[in-house]
């Protein structure tokens, strides 16, 4: 029985990056032998075992045969005669198909080290096309490693395109699409995930609402980059630069979906794209079973981003209405995240990346000031129900008028 370190740990060590979890492959072994040696079995689909002390994952070398469409259409074999090369052959990318023996020797039958040096994401074998999850994985690795100079090899992109044409992407389950998307949004270049999916045609299948944005023009005055798809990708890059969490990055992805359905005769203007976007955000989120927190924030950014951009010109009354619609008094953190998404929108434009966005601090402060207004016993005396609410509203409005004056904002009209 021989044991090899495989996958991400070998790759990351060769790249000089911090190594996360360590996965091992066992050649010439059996489940019984591992159980007898004290390993704990885990996982439903494949026999994976946890080392009795280190708790690292050990998997038996496997061989796969395709029997039907999708990633359940496999028969997987485990037997002691399966070689290291056979197991590595069914892995996705050459850079992920390097094994290391415990004496440090690298076993690299598919040129993984050369591709690491050349910064290439390349499939190991034609068997790549048997599992559509690999399309998502390649796009995600591209998003992770683009800043190191990695790109997807032409032959791999061509294979991915063929898989899309063959309808393989349709068999992806929503949970898996979301899982990969969420991880991709957290990578250093999330926009690359969507660009790679677009380059192979998968974006139109998985995210038609996003795909549709490419080729849709916006007014050059506000959007020097013109193309809406390009704008949204720039917003994602901006979200990374501003250290935005994944929820905000997802909201950024969804904020302009409405521009994809503006009637062409209205281009390049997009009146009402905020309200037109909401059903699209909902459709995307329902289809992919996106968690509620992500959906709520994306809906809010979609509905409110134009109002937020106008914050300094809004009448205090309208600012209060905005705070109310955003449930900002009860959910201040979510409101802050929405403001951050709006900043990503404002700065995700060609040449405007560093343009100050005072709207965010202005509305943060407006929320704080309005939230601090309270009615005590004496204030409430003689008032009830609606009258109390009106009094609170009036006082908050006064505070916001003062805030507007102090901020030197444009006089209300």
Q: Which is nearer to Mg ion, 11 or 299 (CB)?
A: 11
Site for ligand ATP in 17-36 (CB under 6 A): 20, 23
Stretch that binds ligand ATP, among 27-35, 89-97, 319-327, 352-360 (CB under 6 A): 89-97
Report, in Å, the least distance between residue 208 CB and Mg ion: 31
Report, in Å, the least distance between residue 173 CB and ligand ATP: 13
Site for ligand ATP in 34-73 (CB under 6 A): none
Q: Considering the rule CB under 6 A, would residue 133 count as an interface residue with ligand ATP?
A: yes
Report, in Å, the least distance between residue 108 CB and Mg ion: 18
Q: Which is nearer to Mg ion, 8 or 217 (CB)?
A: 8
Please count the other Cβ atoms lying within 10 Å of the Cβ belonging to residue 21: 10
Q: Considering the rule CB under 6 A, would residue 8 count as an interface residue with ligand ATP?
A: yes
The residues pairing with 315 across neighbouring beta strands, listed in sequence order, are none
Report, in Å, the least distance between residue 321 CB and ligand ATP: 44
Q: How far apart (Å, rounded) are the C-alpha atoms in residues 233 and 146?
A: 14
Spatial contact of 110 and 86, defined as CB atoms under 8 Å apart: no
DSSP conformational letter for 233: H
Q: How far apart (Å, rounded) are the C-alpha atoms in residues 360 and 338?
A: 9
Q: Considering the rule CB under 6 A, would residue 91 count as an interface residue with ligand ATP?
A: yes
Quick one: what does residue 247 bind among ligand ATP, Mg ion, none, with the CB cut-off 5 to 8 Å set by partner type? none
Quick one: what does residue 131 bind among Mg ion, ligand ATP, none, with the CB cut-off 5 to 8 Å set by partner type? ligand ATP
Q: Considering the rule CB under 6 A, would residue 131 count as an interface residue with ligand ATP?
A: yes
Q: How far apart (Å, rounded) are the C-alpha atoms in residues 3 and 125?
A: 23
Spatial contact of 84 and 56, defined as CB atoms under 8 Å apart: no
Q: Considering the rule CB under 6 A, would residue 190 count as an interface residue with ligand ATP?
A: no
Q: How many residues bind ligand ATP (CB under 6 A)?
A: 12
Tokens of 126: 């034609």
Q: Considering the rule CB under 6 A, would residue 109 count as an interface residue with ligand ATP?
A: no
Quick one: what does residue 258 bind among Mg ion, ligand ATP, none, with the CB cut-off 5 to 8 Å set by partner type? none
Beta-strand runs (E) in 106-180: 106-107, 120-121, 151-152
Give the sign of the dihedral formed by CA 295, CA 303, CA 237, CA 312. Answer: negative
Stretch that binds ligand ATP, among 29-37, 90-98, 99-107, 257-265 (CB under 6 A): 90-98
The residues pairing with 99 across neighbouring beta strands, listed in sequence order, are 6, 107
Quick one: what does residue 91 bind among ligand ATP, Mg ion, none, with the CB cut-off 5 to 8 Å set by partner type? ligand ATP
Phi, psi of 74, deg, nearest 5: -130, 150
Q: How far apart (Å, rounded) are the C-alpha atoms in residues 79 and 11?
A: 26
Q: Which is nearer to ligand ATP, 23 or 317 (CB)?
A: 23
Q: Which residue in the set 87, 92, 187, 209 belongs to the binding site for ligand ATP (CB under 6 A)?
A: 92
Q: Considering the rule CB under 6 A, would residue 96 count as an interface residue with ligand ATP?
A: yes
Tokens of 307: 């109002």
Site for ligand ATP in 135-164 (CB under 6 A): 137
To 10 degrees, what angle do helices 174-185 and 190-199 make?
A: 130
Q: Which is nearer to ligand ATP, 22 or 331 (CB)?
A: 22
Quick one: what does residue 115 bind among ligand ATP, Mg ion, none, with the CB cut-off 5 to 8 Å set by partner type? none
What's the 3-state SS for 9-63?
A: HHHHHHCCCCCCCCEEEEECCCHHHHHHCCCEEECCCCCEEECCCCCCEEEECCE
Residues engaged in binding ligand ATP (CB under 6 A): 7-8, 20, 23, 91-92, 96-97, 131, 133-134, 137
């Amino acid at each position: 029985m021989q044991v090899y370190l495989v996958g991400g740990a070998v790759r990351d060590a060769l790249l000089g990056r911090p190594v996360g979890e360590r996965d091992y492959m066992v050649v010439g072994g059996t489940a019984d032998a591992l159980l007898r040696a004290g390993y704990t079995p885990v996982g439903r689909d494949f026999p994976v075992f946890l080392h009795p002390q280190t708790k690292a994952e050990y998997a038996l070398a496997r061989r796969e045969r395709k029997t039907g469409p999708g990633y359940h259409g496999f028969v997987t074999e485990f037997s002691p005669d399966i070689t290291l090369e056979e197991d590595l052959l069914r892995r996705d990318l050459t850079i992920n198909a390097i094994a290391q023996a415990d004496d440090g020797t690298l076993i690299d039958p598919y040129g993984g080290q050369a591709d690491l040096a050349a910064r290439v994401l390349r499939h190991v074998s034609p068997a790549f096309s048997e599992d559509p999850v690999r399309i998502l994985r390649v796009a995600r690795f591209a998003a992770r490693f683009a800043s190191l100079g990695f790109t997807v090899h032409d032959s791999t992109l061509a294979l991915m395109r063929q898989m899309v044409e063959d309808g393989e992407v349709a068999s992806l389950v929503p949970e898996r699409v979301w899982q990969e998307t969420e991880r991709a949004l957290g990578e250093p270049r999330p926009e690359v995930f969507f660009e790679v999916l677009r380059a192979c045609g998968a974006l139109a299948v998985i995210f038609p609402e996003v795909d549709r944005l490419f080729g849709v023009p916006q007014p050059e005055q506000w959007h020097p980059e013109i193309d809406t798809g390009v704008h949204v990708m720039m917003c994602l890059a901006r979200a990374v630069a501003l250290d935005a969490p994944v929820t905000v990055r997802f909201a950024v992805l969804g904020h302009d979906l409405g521009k994809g359905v503006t009637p062409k005769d209205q281009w390049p203007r997009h009146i009402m794209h905020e309200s037109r976007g909401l059903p699209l955000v909902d459709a995307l989120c329902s289809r992919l079973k996106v968690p509620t927190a992500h959906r709520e924030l994306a809906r809010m950014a979609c509905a409110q981003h134009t109002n937020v951009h106008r914050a300094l010109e809004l009448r205090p009354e309208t600012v209060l209405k905005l705070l109310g619609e955003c449930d900002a008094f009860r959910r201040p953190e979510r409101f802050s995240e929405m403001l951050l998404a709006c900043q990503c929108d404002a700065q995700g434009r060609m040449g405007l990346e560093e343009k100050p966005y005072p709207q965010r601090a202005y509305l943060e402060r407006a929320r704080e000031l309005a939230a601090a207004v309270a009615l005590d016993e004496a204030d409430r005396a003689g008032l009830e129900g609606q009258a109390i609410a009106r009094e609170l509203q009036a006082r908050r409005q006064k505070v916001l008028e003062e805030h507007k004056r102090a901020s030197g904002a444009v006089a209300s009209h």
